[in-house]
Structure 1
Amino acid sequence: MQVGNVTTPFGRRSVTLAQIKGQMRTAEIKAGKKADKWKVFRDACEARVVLGVQDRALAVLDALLTFYPGNELSEDRGLVV
C-alpha cells in the first residue's frame, strides 16, 4: 500500500479525488476536438456557483478570451493568450 500526499503543481494545496477524476476524464478527450470559446464562457457563467468561480475570475476569463484569436478553442492552436 502506498501512502503519501497528493498536491497541485502550483503549491502545497491538497487535491481532491474529484479533481483527479476530472483530470483523468480530460485525458480521454479525443485529439482534434474544438469548442466555441464564447459558449464555454457562457456555460462557465451559468455554472459559476457549482464550479465555485467568483465574478472577478469570470471577468478575467472574459478579458483573456477576448485576446484569444478566433472563436474556436483547439489543441492545435494552443491555449496561451
Structure 2
Amino acid sequence: MDFLWFLLIGAVSGWLAGQLWKGSGFGLLGNIIAGIVGGVVGGWIAGKLGIGGGGLLWQIIIAAGGAWVILFLISLVKKK
C-alpha cells in the first residue's frame, strides 16, 4: 500500500511541477515520471536541509519541489 501512495503522490506532484514549469513541463507521462523521481530527490534534499514534516500535503510539496528540480535538469540536458 505504501508503494501505491508513493506513486500517487509522485503523480500529483509531477503534474503540479509541470504546471509550474513554464506551463506544461514535458507532457503528462513525463511529468508523472519526474514527480515519482522527484519524490525521492525532494525527500533527499529535505533530509539534507533538516526539513522534516508529515502529512500528505507536506509530502506533495516536497515531491513537487524535487520534481521541479528534475524538470529543470532535464530541460538543461534537452537544450543541448
Shorter chain as denominator, the TM-score bin is under 0.3
The structure richer in strand per residue is: 1
TM-score scaled to structure 2, two decimals? 0.28
The structure richer in helix per residue is: 2
> Per chain length, whose mean CA-contact separation is higher, i.e. which structure has more relative contact order (CA < 8 Å, sep 6+)?
2
- Is the radius of gyration larger for structure 1 or structure 2? 1
TM-score scaled to structure 1, two decimals? 0.27
